[in-house]
Chains A and B, each alone.
Chain A
Amino acid sequence: MATTAKPVQGKIKRPNIPSAGIQVPAVSTFEQVDNEILATLKPSSKWFMGLGLAIAAMLVGASAWTYQIYWGLGNAGYVPPVMWGVYIITFVFWVGIGHAGTLISAILYLFRAGFRTTIYRASEAMTVFAVMTAGLFPIIHIGRPWKFFWLIPYPNWRLLFPQFKSPLLWDVFAISTYLTISTTFLYLGLIPDFAVMRDKETNPIRKRIFAMLSLGWKNTDREWRHFAKMYMFLAAFSTPLVLSVHSVVSFDFAMALTPGWHTTIFPPYFVGGAIFSGFAMVWTILIPIRKWWNLEHYVTLNHLDATAKVVLFTSIMVGSGYLSEFFIAWYGGNAAEQEYFWNRVFGQWWWAGWILLLCNMIFPLSLFSQKLRRNPTWLWILSIIINIGMWYERFVIVVPSLSHEFEPWQWTNYSPSWIDMCFLVGSFGWFFMWFLLFIKQMPVIAIAEVKEIVPPKMLNDHGGHH
């Protein structure tokens, strides 16, 4: 339905095939697709262990939050004027992660990139859960979380309205819009797959649920026609969001006059970074999945290779962002700005600065090697490196800027405390809890889309005879 990829014709000759034409040669029948992909839905003891671990981590965060709401934010590592810390860093980190999914499912769809077919569902789900995770952090971060709804413009007797000039308010709109659209988009793509699950399901209750979720999908031409149009429309609708959401998040910083924040490069550089980190997270999730659930012939090395090129590209993009920041600081001649950037690589925060440069600029250069691009183990290790690097990118943006502002008397240091770490762990727990629940309820690879690129059986049969 969704891609314009043509069914495979003959043997694949070279590994470096154009991404649009990526195929899954080891998958030959629709039956196989149904069975193999639906097999991932069977719970295993390992899955239960994983889920248990995720829930435990989530509970660490939940109890930390209870504790924090009771005592106040004082137990976190904040050292004024570093008034934003791990919570905002982690917020931006997860929003960034949330970008790859929509990029893959929407933008690559519009660009007819064939390698998206088998990876988009997992990425899309990752997006939804990452945004769900990210959305918690502004609430965790504020001093009076029970008053969070004051950021929402609702009519009230006191005629109080939010401040529409504040980038934080834009965040509220950006994040909630993004969550709505990406959830809708994920669900839309799932409709034909729910129908497959309904058909294969024997348990009457589950069957009923899937029937409802599939909205009575009958696989008719008319349905497909409407479906494709709607899918295209939503893809087009989400595409600007991919660019806008992280631009808006970057405005949290760029609109402030803090040295190191007050820069126009932030929107493109944040979006680039978001895609970069999002793809890394896709690897982190998908590489184990394809191995553990025997999906290596769906998510092939060719797919990984193609994503690696995106990562390489965005890494270079982000890297040029870093370098131009240094250039502008020097060229702009603003001493406060210059001191901040000096501080970032040679001063107080040199270690964080170099973690950032190494993880995001240097290590990804290894992807120029085709051998490494096709080495899942390396890609997985690299994905962890990039995740760390991108978390530190936000650290470097948030903390050193605030710790070294205009007013030298208030220059300070910062280190996260135990409760900050609890929230970081909790956020991963929360995210993976949802993801693990997802992969046991819904197909992690889009069944209907894979069927499109699998040559129909009759064609093969007929071809054999003629």
Chain B
Amino acid sequence: MSTESGATGVKRRDFLKILGVTSAATAVTGCNTDHVRKLIPYVSNPDNTVPGVSNYFASTCRECATSCGILVETRDGRALKIEGNPNAELNRGALCAKGQSALQGLYNPDRFRQPMARKNGQLTAVTWDEALQTLATKLGEVRSKGQASNAVFINQHEIGSFPAVLDNWLRDYGMPAHLSYDADAPASAIAANKAAYGVAWPTLDFDAASLIVSFGADFLDGWGPSVPLQLAWADARGKVEGAPRAIYIGARRSLTGLNADSWIACRPGSELAIIQFLRGSKPVADAAAAADVSVATLEGLKKEIAEAKRSLLLAGGNGVDSTQVATEVAEYNKSLGNVGITIKPASPLGIYERLDVSAAVFNAADRMNAGSVPVLFVRGANPVHTLPKSVKFAEGLAKVAFKVSFTNVPDETTELADLVLPDHHSLESWGDAEPTANTLHLQQPAMEPVFNTRATADVLIAVAKMDTALASKYTMTDYRSWLVSRFPGGQAAQMLALPKGVASASSLRAAGRAAGDLGRKPAAAFAGAGDFHLVINASPTLGTGAGANKPWLVELPDPVSKIAWQSWVEMHPMACKKLGVTRGDLVTIETSAGKVTLPVYNYLGIRPDTIAVSLGLGHKSQSNRKFDADGDRKVPFYSGYGRYAEGVGINAVDLVSGDTDALSGAIAYTSMKAKVTRTGENIDLITTEGSARQHSRGIGQASTLAALVAARTKKEASHGATEGAATTQHDANAAEGGHELGPKEWGGNEHAFVGGAPTEFLPGLKSPVANDAQGDLGTQDSKDKGMYSEKHWSGMAKRRWAMTVDLSRCTGCSACVTACYSENNIPTVGATWQGRALSPTVWDTRPGANILKGREMAWIRLERYFEGAEDSENVFDPGFDTRFVPMMCQHCGNAPCEPVCPVYATYHSPDGLNVQVYNRCVGTRYCSNNCPYKVRYYNWFGYGEPGRRQYAFPEPMQMQLNPDVTVRGKGVMEKCTFCVQRIREAETRADLEQRPLQADEFTTACAQACPSKAITFGDAADPTWTVAKQVEDERAYHVFEVLNTYTAVVYLKKINHTVEA
């Protein structure tokens, strides 16, 4: 599939166009920007292609080294959506936001479109032949000069056969093994795991634990294999009864911390003291003093661990002594008997196999600076951006005679390269990965390459073939054929395994590099001076920076701060008060390494003596609107990291001193002090958060296990007493005696509502659909015969599509948001060119300008409410609770939006959907005003109109658009449709196959992607569907039930596991 598609070949899309216009004159190569104006069917269909029906290719996600199995949906040869592969035991169909956004890497408008070589100081387009010739010549030169052993190859860490293939290739050229670099990797945990358990990453079984204690291990923020960990966590917590209680220890409450039941807010760097106290090697008073927490807290922790049936202690952290902490924690796990039960070294994960530590890259940088490196290769990794300045990587790079980059997007490192040989995107390439022992995830191209790129493995083979000495060794035609040749059972077996995506086999193992170059500059103490401890954390969505050119990720609000398109500094309200700053005030943060200016985000979940900054942004990017003489776009439009990174945030690495953890050689991100000074300026925080408090309105409800049991007992008792009289949801609430128990508290008395709202349990789902389209205007006869009658032949009215969201499972990770963007063609609106006009001619070019005006289009949003710690300006209270609430159209049975639309653009379908007809909408926006949930979104600009400055799908991103979903025009309201296209597709498929729709046969995009499996969708009127059972759950509630909206979305209360429970 992904073979020669070079300058002279004709690509499939072009071929289609030729078919269409039957004129060879249009047979131009490269990606065409013209819009196809005529739809012309195939004369003969390519194999397995039915127009309008999707093909799914099983492949492997390459956005991080976890290597989840994925299914790529393609239609007419274009990849449309990435979903988790349900066959993959590792991720069980789930996929994180990063993984789903791989599509925007594939269709990134700023990708290299062909190989480039530096000519007269500027990267210029060249042909592949020319590029390969240059590489072969250079390699020959290096070898003939005897410098090959000094070459450096830095590869973005990945698993599978490629690293081994690469090492073999390097060895054939006399070059040392490559550096497998991952700035995101949890180095301290890996080092400790290796030391204590002998594997880089054991399986962590949250389900078997009754207590989880995390020493800064942010397993829900991208620490470790994120999707498998999140699944394990959600499965454990979703049990409700017998679910583990979680305690988070750290200076900043990360997403993981917010999901934990309690937070021990220790001073940064004091985790060691705590674990030493727990292990009995430090007196409690010393530990408490070091950690700045009370003696009682630590004693309580120790008691809980001792009393827990089975515990799981995790240690993450990126401090100078984190490996020591992690090692001690591992030893403690051993002594508690957790190994083999909650920690399973016997079934390790492949994710961090053959990973090199940062220090190895430091050493390479030193050699580069010494001028001894003749040639440097880089692929995927971006060390110029991710390494601290003190490493002097960029300076070193300047001294390397020849730099080759295989990266397919322009980045800070590639920008300095002499030769760019853009790799295929992972969705265009062959490959494999072995995420768990003897389970091979196969990677296959889902579509023809978008641009004139080539898989690096194929380039390596091609270059070797050009070398007379090596040609005899490299006889395979390409990487694919090599992969096939070593697949057990050969091509036939591989063909059978490909549709499944998973096989029982192993990848080629790389030997790895010899250890020994650890810790270039180990430091034992805090670096720098200042009033604040500085914690630098990787962004849960952007990682250390690889997501910044993907608008889905940049626009996705940070799960903790809810800020997008911007960098910020987290500061406790007490610290803000002391410093005299408020939200949005610009402060200068100065460490020994550098200085940045950032707006303040006042955050409850950070110690008052600590500040936190996220990595992931601050790329160099500049628009470069130069065209070649022929008007074609041969040079990238944007230099640096592409158009979506332009002006977005700061690079927190600028603050990092470069000190490393002595034991693991990893960069220490959390062991610095910083001076914070206010600048007196204030800017707007680009956040989607209105109020962080739910004002007792019962949106995200929580309960405790004890209260749940009490309510259950009371319900049973009252059932007995009144002989089956209906007990109301409100009674159940009242029984819990909670402080935020819904309507009574804030809405007065539900009986005060005129019309006597039924107060039976979940009336919305039991009641018939509230009204037919004619409402009261229809005659009885028309109602009986119409589609809204259950007797209607379509049977639509027998269904009630509904959704449950289990808040005990939801972690707030926001993967559902990205899934929705991907499925429903939701435009991103925050890019610099999409802002509004500040005067007739001046446009607001701040990144995120539209978000500032609240105009993000996310049909599903993750609300994050805090409970408790009200007086945070004066008291530091780590005991607050967080509620994550995914909020989407509730598909009310009695929808307030429907009657107010003057043109019937929104109405109720017989199967319970609240339908929005884009073509009928005139844009009065009355529906949004009347929506209590505020889940309707409006097209303020022509985001879907090519040629407009606000156009959200710059070529070739439009190729990702889902043909099942309309791209909405300007002036039109839109909202969550419950993925109506999927409902109708499933119904049609069932019809065609002449069978009834099966329970749980399909689901919505958000539910499909959810790595917590918190969302369940289905027909609540049919008891065979899972959702029908879930709506009966004792934790179920409707948001704003007092408003009589009869929502079809049912939330299941979060359960907080308190000490008593």
Inter-chain CA distance A335–B697, complex, in Å, is: 9
Inter-chain CA distance A407–B853, complex, in Å, is: 17
Q: B924 at the A/B interface (Cβ < 8 Å)?
A: yes
Q: In chain B, residues 888-908, which have Cβ atoms closer than 8 Å to a Cβ of chain A? A: 896, 899-904
Question: Given A143-B925, A334-B748, A336-B747, is A166 in contact with B901 using a C-beta cutoff of 8 Å?
Answer: yes
User: Which one of B19-27, B243-251, B349-357, B936-944 is at the A interface?
Assistant: B936-944
Q: Which residues of B contact A80 (CB under 8 A)?
A: 853-855, 928, 934, 937-938
Q: Which residues of A contact B689 (CB under 8 A)?
A: 409
The answer to whether B925 touches A75, judged by C-beta atoms less than 8 angstroms apart, is no
Q: B448 at the A/B interface (Cβ < 8 Å)?
A: no
Which residue on chain B has the smallest CB distance to residue A150?
B903
Inter-chain CA distance A367–B920, complex, in Å, is: 51
User: Which one of B227-235, B831-839, B995-1003 is at the A interface?
Assistant: B831-839
Scan A66-92; emit 1 where CB is below 8 A from any B CB, else 0: 010001111101111101100000000
The answer to whether A257 touches B690, judged by C-beta atoms less than 8 angstroms apart, is no
CB distance from A140 to the nearest CB of B (A): 11
Size bin of chain A's contact surface: 35 or more
The answer to whether B902 touches A162, judged by C-beta atoms less than 8 angstroms apart, is yes
Q: Which residues of A contact B887 (CB under 8 A)?
A: 407, 409
CB distance from B831 to the nearest CB of A (A): 14
Q: Which residues of B contact A293 (CB under 8 A)?
A: none
CB distance from B100 to the nearest CB of A (A): 24
Scan A324-356; emit 1 where CB is below 8 A from any B CB, else 0: 000000001111100100000000000000000
**Complex partner residue of A166 from B699, B900, B931, B972, CB under 8 angstroms:** B900
The answer to whether B929 touches A142, judged by C-beta atoms less than 8 angstroms apart, is no
**Complex partner residue of B932 from A168, A405, A417, CB under 8 angstroms:** A405
Scan B535-570; emit 1 where CB is below 8 A from any A CB, else 0: 000000000000000000000000000000000000
Q: Which residues of B contact A166 (CB under 8 A)?
A: 899-902, 926
The answer to whether A144 touches B690, judged by C-beta atoms less than 8 angstroms apart, is no
Q: Which residues of B contact A244 (CB under 8 A)?
A: none
Question: Given A72-B970, A74-B836, A334-B748, is A409 in contact with B691 using a C-beta cutoff of 8 Å?
Answer: yes
Inter-chain CA distance A150–B905, complex, in Å, is: 11
Size bin of chain B's contact surface: 35 or more
Q: Which residues of A contact B747 (CB under 8 A)?
A: 334-336
The answer to whether A84 touches B929, judged by C-beta atoms less than 8 angstroms apart, is yes
Which residue on chain B has the smallest CB distance to residue A418?
B839
Inter-chain CA distance A78–B836, complex, in Å, is: 11
Please indicate which of the listed interface residues A409, A410, A417 has the most CB atoms of chain B within 10 Å of its own CB: A409
**Complex partner residue of A256 from B921, B930, B950, CB under 8 angstroms:** B930
Q: Which residues of A contact B939 (CB under 8 A)?
A: 72, 143
**Complex partner residue of B930 from A258, A339, A418, CB under 8 angstroms:** A258
Inter-chain CA distance A407–B890, complex, in Å, is: 13
The answer to whether B929 touches A83, judged by C-beta atoms less than 8 angstroms apart, is yes
Q: In chain B, residues 694-737, which have Cβ atoms closer than 8 Å to a Cβ of chain A? A: 694-697, 699
Please indicate which of the listed interface residues B896, B925, B926 has the most CB atoms of chain A within 10 Å of its own CB: B925
**Complex partner residue of A410 from B690, B745, B930, CB under 8 angstroms:** B690
Inter-chain CA distance A162–B899, complex, in Å, is: 11
Which residue on chain A has the smallest CB distance to residue B907?
A163
The answer to whether A335 touches B970, judged by C-beta atoms less than 8 angstroms apart, is no
Q: Which residues of B contact A138 (CB under 8 A)?
A: 924
Q: Which residues of B contact A144 (CB under 8 A)?
A: 921-923, 969-972
Scan A280-315; emit 1 where CB is below 8 A from any B CB, else 0: 000000000000000000000000000000000000
The answer to whether A419 touches B837, judged by C-beta atoms less than 8 angstroms apart, is yes
CB distance from B155 to the nearest CB of A (A): 42
CB distance from B399 to the nearest CB of A (A): 49
Inter-chain CA distance A258–B926, complex, in Å, is: 11
Question: Given A83-B928, A409-B691, A410-B934, is A168 in contact with B972 using a C-beta cutoff of 8 Å?
Answer: no
The answer to whether B903 touches A143, judged by C-beta atoms less than 8 angstroms apart, is no
Scan B960-976; emit 1 where CB is below 8 A from any A CB, else 0: 00000000011111000
The answer to whether B925 touches A412, judged by C-beta atoms less than 8 angstroms apart, is no
Inter-chain CA distance A171–B937, complex, in Å, is: 24
Q: Which residues of B contact A84 (CB under 8 A)?
A: 925, 929
The answer to whether A405 touches B900, judged by C-beta atoms less than 8 angstroms apart, is no
Inter-chain CA distance A162–B920, complex, in Å, is: 10
Inter-chain CA distance A332–B747, complex, in Å, is: 9
The answer to whether B900 touches A256, judged by C-beta atoms less than 8 angstroms apart, is yes
The answer to whether A67 touches B840, judged by C-beta atoms less than 8 angstroms apart, is yes
Q: A217 at the A/B interface (Cβ < 8 Å)?
A: no
Inter-chain CA distance A164–B776, complex, in Å, is: 10
- For the residues of B in contact with A, the DSSP-based class is loop
Q: A322 at the A/B interface (Cβ < 8 Å)?
A: no
Inter-chain CA distance A80–B904, complex, in Å, is: 22
The answer to whether B971 touches A142, judged by C-beta atoms less than 8 angstroms apart, is yes
Q: In chain A, residues 120-166, which have Cβ atoms closer than 8 Å to a Cβ of chain B? A: 138, 141-144, 147-148, 150-151, 160-166
The answer to whether B928 touches A160, judged by C-beta atoms less than 8 angstroms apart, is no
Scan B364-375; emit 1 where CB is below 8 A from any A CB, else 0: 000000000000
Q: In chain B, residues 932-991, which have Cβ atoms closer than 8 Å to a Cβ of chain A? A: 932-934, 937-942, 950, 969-973
Which residue on chain A has the smallest CB distance to residue B775?
A165
CB distance from A211 to the nearest CB of B (A): 43
Q: B476 at the A/B interface (Cβ < 8 Å)?
A: no
Q: A408 at the A/B interface (Cβ < 8 Å)?
A: yes
Q: Which residues of A contact B836 (CB under 8 A)?
A: 74-75, 417
Inter-chain CA distance A406–B1041, complex, in Å, is: 12
Q: Which residues of B contact A363 (CB under 8 A)?
A: none
CB distance from B1051 to the nearest CB of A (A): 14
Inter-chain CA distance A77–B854, complex, in Å, is: 11
Inter-chain CA distance A402–B938, complex, in Å, is: 15
**Complex partner residue of B923 from A142, A164, A402, A410, CB under 8 angstroms:** A142
**Complex partner residue of B691 from A147, A408, A418, CB under 8 angstroms:** A408
Q: A227 at the A/B interface (Cβ < 8 Å)?
A: no
Inter-chain CA distance A138–B837, complex, in Å, is: 22
CB distance from A269 to the nearest CB of B (A): 19
The answer to whether A148 touches B922, judged by C-beta atoms less than 8 angstroms apart, is yes
Q: B42 at the A/B interface (Cβ < 8 Å)?
A: no
Q: Which residues of B contact A336 (CB under 8 A)?
A: 697, 746-747
Which residue on chain A has the smallest CB distance to residue B863?
A409
CB distance from A414 to the nearest CB of B (A): 9
Q: Which residues of A contact B693 (CB under 8 A)?
A: 408
Q: Which residues of A contact B903 (CB under 8 A)?
A: 150-151, 160, 162-163
The answer to whether A160 touches B925, judged by C-beta atoms less than 8 angstroms apart, is no
Q: B67 at the A/B interface (Cβ < 8 Å)?
A: no
Scan B834-870; emit 1 where CB is below 8 A from any A CB, else 0: 0011111000000000100111000001010100000
Inter-chain CA distance A412–B687, complex, in Å, is: 11
Q: Which residues of A contact B920 (CB under 8 A)?
A: 150, 160
Q: Which residues of B contact A151 (CB under 8 A)?
A: 902-903, 922
Which residue on chain B has the smallest CB distance to residue A73?
B940
**Complex partner residue of A408 from B690, B840, B972, B973, CB under 8 angstroms:** B690
The answer to whether B896 touches A256, judged by C-beta atoms less than 8 angstroms apart, is yes
Q: Which residues of A contact B972 (CB under 8 A)?
A: 143-144
CB distance from B429 to the nearest CB of A (A): 40
**Complex partner residue of A143 from B694, B839, B931, B970, CB under 8 angstroms:** B970
The answer to whether B900 touches A409, judged by C-beta atoms less than 8 angstroms apart, is no
CB distance from B692 to the nearest CB of A (A): 8
Q: B1040 at the A/B interface (Cβ < 8 Å)?
A: yes
Provide 28 A-B residue pairs closer than 8 Å at the C-beta atoms, listed in order of the A residue.
A72-B941, A74-B940, A75-B836, A80-B854, A81-B854, A81-B931, A83-B925, A143-B971, A144-B921, A144-B972, A160-B904, A163-B900, A166-B899, A169-B902, A252-B926, A258-B930, A332-B748, A333-B749, A334-B746, A334-B747, A406-B933, A407-B933, A409-B863, A410-B690, A411-B690, A418-B837, A418-B840, A419-B837
The 6 A-B residue pairs with the shortest CB-CB distance in the complex, in nearest-first order: A143-B923, A143-B971, A74-B940, A411-B690, A408-B691, A335-B746
**A interface residues (Cβ-Cβ under 8 A, vs B):** 67, 71-75, 77-81, 83-84, 138, 141-144, 147-148, 150-151, 160-169, 172, 252, 255-258, 332-336, 339, 402, 405-412, 417-419
Given contacts A80-B928, A143-B939, A160-B903, 7 further A-B contacts (CB under 8 A): A74-B850, A75-B837, A81-B854, A81-B928, A166-B900, A335-B697, A418-B840
